Amino acid sequence: MSAEEAPPTLEWSGQAVDVLAIDAALQRLRQEAADGAPAEGTAHGTRTSVLTLITYAFDGATAQRATQTIANLPEYHPSRSIVILAEPSDDEPVIDARLSAHCHIAPGLEGQVCFEEIALTVKGRAASHLHSIVLPLLVPDLPVFGWWTGELPDDAHLLDDALDTADRLIVDSTRFSEAERSLARLARLMQSRGAALSDLGWARLNPWRQLIAQFFDEPRLRPYLDSLTALDIEHAAGSSAQALLLAGWLADRLGWRPSGKQNHTYRARSAGGDVVVSVHAELAPDREPGSLLSVLLKASKDGKTATFGVQRREPQLATATAKAPETSLERTVRLPAGGDPEMLAAELQTAGRDQAYSQALAMAASLPLV
């Protein structure tokens, strides 16, 4: 789309405003955006809405990064995005708002995608009661996704507020400091509140899980799952959350019972014997912190040994290798882009609870406990 064709973005901003004023401004912008940029073949003022996304940030830099991420979502754009920069204090409440409405033609697709972005800075006591500001601004009757951009807060009330508002709250465990402790807290939250949580860190494991599962689609190799002896995971330094979740997933799916821990080595017992799980952090400045670098499964059955490995060669390229007496295979596969925009977009496409995640999380949390 050339610059001339790009419909203008309509904007409004106000300082120290109330929610009613924001809502009124929103209605007006929405109308103007639809009138101003009718795509060929579509009626004036029509649109299709899919969901609302609320982003929670607690410092300016994170809020800005989140706004950027949302602007770069590759697909499935939220119909309304509300980015809240919350600065809780005991002061009087102040809300500053900035609204913008866009309609654009998505490249390669027909029809225009319309959406509104609301950036709110909420200060003072109101920052602890965000639902009172957000609820009136939601698109009626459509799914609400919350995106918690930072650490798990010490103030449980803030997180409760977000969990109450959103149908599903998206966190990123890779960004938590102290992975073991945070995963345990997340697991408790899921268990005690029955919270619908999803985790961008878990989403980044999707291609890895797919590749590992693929090895054992081959019926002749499947018996090795029973007799795994070692699981080695290497990850880029910064967070071990993804590595632990992957170990938790395998342990849960294969019915392992945690049996001990020494530094970054975890032991578990499986039907076929003991499994040693090693998690190593590697300095890899050119990789996303905490992202997986390689996974190696070793198995030994009836005197036969086999290895199954996935190795990241480039940010988006991996080699999957199976070596067993029955068959040896090596192939190169593409790892989908694992940036925040791609991962967030993938999460927005999925409604409902991810059972595999809650089980993997519970297991990841219990691995270090023994």
Partner 1 sequence: MDTLTTVNPLREGLRLERTPESCTMVIFGASGDLTRRKLLPALYNLALDGLLPDGFAVVGFARSEMTDQQFRQEALEAVREFSRRPVDAALWDSFARGLFYTGAGSLNPEDFQRLTGLVARVDRERNTGGNRVFYLSVPPSAYSGIVQQLGASGLATRGQDGSGWARIIIEKPFGRDLESARALNREVADVFAEEQVYRIDHFLGKETVQNILVFRFANGIFEPIWNRRYIDHVQITAAESLGIEGRAGYYEEAGALRDMVENHMLQVLSLVAMEPPIAFEPRAVRDEKVKVLRAIRPLRGEDVARYTARGQYGPGWVDGREVPGYRQEPNVDPASITETFAALNLYVDNWRWAEVPFYLRTGKRLPKQTTEVAIHFKRAPLLLFRDMTDSDSLQPNVLAIRIQPKEGITLKFHAKVPGISVRIRSVNMDFLYGASFAVQPPTAYETLLLDCLLGDSTLFARRDEIEAAWSLVTDILNGWREMPPPDFPNYEAGSWGPREAQELMASDGRQWRRP
Contacts with partner 1, residue ranges (CB under 8 A): 39, 41-43, 46-50, 75-77, 106, 108-114, 206-207, 209-219, 222-223, 225-226, 250, 253-255, 271, 313-314, 317, 320, 322, 327, 329, 331-334, 350, 354-357, 359
- Min dist CB 268 to partner 1, Å, is 15
Cα–Cα distances in Å, from 88 out to 147, 162, 170, 176, 197? 18, 14, 21, 21, 24
Chain mean position to CA 51 = 16
Q: Which is nearer to partner 1, 39 or 276 (CB)?
A: 39
- Min dist CB 52 to partner 1, Å, is 14
Give ∠ CA 74-87-171 in degrees, rounded to 5: 40
Are 131 and 165 spatial neighbours (Cβ–Cβ below 8 Å)?
yes
Q: Which is nearer to partner 1, 42 or 307 (CB)?
A: 42
H runs (alpha helix) in 75-221: 131-134, 156-165, 179-193, 200-203, 206-215
- Min dist CB 297 to partner 1, Å, is 11
- Min dist CB 59 to partner 1, Å, is 30
Beta pairing class for 144-148 and 168-171: parallel
Q: Which is nearer to partner 1, 188 or 313 (CB)?
A: 313
Q: Which is nearer to partner 1, 140 or 219 (CB)?
A: 219
- Min dist CB 112 to partner 1, Å, is 6
- Min dist CB 237 to partner 1, Å, is 26
Q: How far apart are CA 20 and CA 140, in angstroms?
A: 16
Q: Which is nearer to partner 1, 32 or 226 (CB)?
A: 226
Q: Which is nearer to partner 1, 77 or 123 (CB)?
A: 77
Q: In what order do the strands lie in the sheet with 273-282?
A: 257-262, 265-270, 273-282, 228-236, 292-301, 304-314, 317-323, 328-334
- Min dist CB 86 to partner 1, Å, is 29
Q: Which is nearer to partner 1, 206 or 305 (CB)?
A: 206
| H or E, element range at 296 | strand 292-301
- Min dist CB 157 to partner 1, Å, is 32
Are 231 and 250 spatial neighbours (Cβ–Cβ below 8 Å)?
yes
Are 78 and 50 spatial neighbours (Cβ–Cβ below 8 Å)?
yes
Classify residue 332 by burial, with Cβ atoms within 10 Å: 0-12, 13-18, 19+: exposed
Cα–Cα distances in Å, from 236 out to 25, 171, 218? 46, 20, 30
- Min dist CB 40 to partner 1, Å, is 9
Q: Which is nearer to partner 1, 127 or 250 (CB)?
A: 250
Q: Which is nearer to partner 1, 230 or 333 (CB)?
A: 333
Tracing tokens 């985790």 back to the chain, one arrives at: 199
Chain mean position to CA 320 = 24
